[in-house]
Amino acid sequence: MVKFIRHIFDVFGYSPFPDLLEHAKLCVTAIRRIQKIFKGGDTAELVREIDDVEKKADEIKDRIRRFISDPIVLPVDKYAVYNLVLLQDNIINLCRDLAVLLTIKDLSIPSEVGDLFEKIAKIADEYSELYEHVKPLLAKAFVKSEVSQALEHVDTIVRIGEEFEKCYLKICQEVFESLKPAELVLLREVVIYFLRIVENFVNAAKMFRVMIKRGD
């Protein structure tokens, strides 16, 4: 049972939700920058942009961490809030490391691998929609049916994550067989980054559900 009764801003002087939303947007922005790299963008410039995203995200994470350490009670599990931020932060950090890996000039990315990243972009879209769906509810009472509709995005994210794993295994079986050892090592690292990003998105979506559904 969802326990939101009043607008959280009416109860507390600081709410973590605007910062959490901004952090989620930065998370999706990092994915968009990687997407541009795969579409032929200036990799070095996009790495710098992801660095900026990472710095902004760290500032938000630190602000939420300070808030979580205060002896204050929220209508949601505040530790779930912080764990959610950490999962989102993992995604941004993984994007940064992946972008740096993609600066290797002799690393040729097969089209199948680029297509695989598009599934991650779909997950990012769905994750963004999850927040946008919940955002208006912060301004009024959280009606259980409305929250349930918003959380349908979580199920979609989990489903796309499962589809990704199937495609991931297919790529490993079909594409990697024809690669030289050096290419195989580098490309395997790229795809592992993909997998870790998806895992963090799925776990973040599930943590979002835990946060909202606190206290059945």
Q: Is the pLDDT assigned to residue 19 strictly greater than 50?
A: yes
pLDDT band at 9 (very low <50, low <70, confident <90, very high): very low
Residue-level pLDDT at 182: 74
Residues 6+ apart with CB under 8 A from 18: none
Running DSSP on this structure, what letter comes out for residue 105? T
- Domains in the chain and their CATH numbers? 15-212 (1.20.58.220)
Residue carrying structure tokens 């929250």? 147
Query: Token digits for 181?
Result: 């050892």
Contact 156, 208 (CB under 8 A): no
Contact 99, 177 (CB under 8 A): no
How far is 115 from 119, CA to CA, in rounded Å?
7
Residue-level pLDDT at 49: 97
The mean pLDDT of 186-195, rounded to a whole number, is: 90
pLDDT band at 77 (very low <50, low <70, confident <90, very high): confident
Determine the length of the chain: 216
pLDDT band at 1 (very low <50, low <70, confident <90, very high): very low
Contact 66, 127 (CB under 8 A): no
Residues 6+ apart with CB under 8 A from 19: 60, 63, 64
Round the average pLDDT of the chain to a whole number and report it.
83
Q: What is the pTM of this model?
A: 0.86
Q: Is the pLDDT assigned to residue 88 strictly greater than 80?
A: yes
The mean pLDDT of 13-26, rounded to a whole number, is: 84
Residues 6+ apart with CB under 8 A from 211: 76, 77, 80, 81, 84
- Side-chain half-sphere CA neighbours of 22 within 13 A: 16
For 203, other C-beta atoms within 10 Å of its C-beta total 19
Q: Phi first, then psi: what are they for 28, rounded to 5°? A: -70, -35
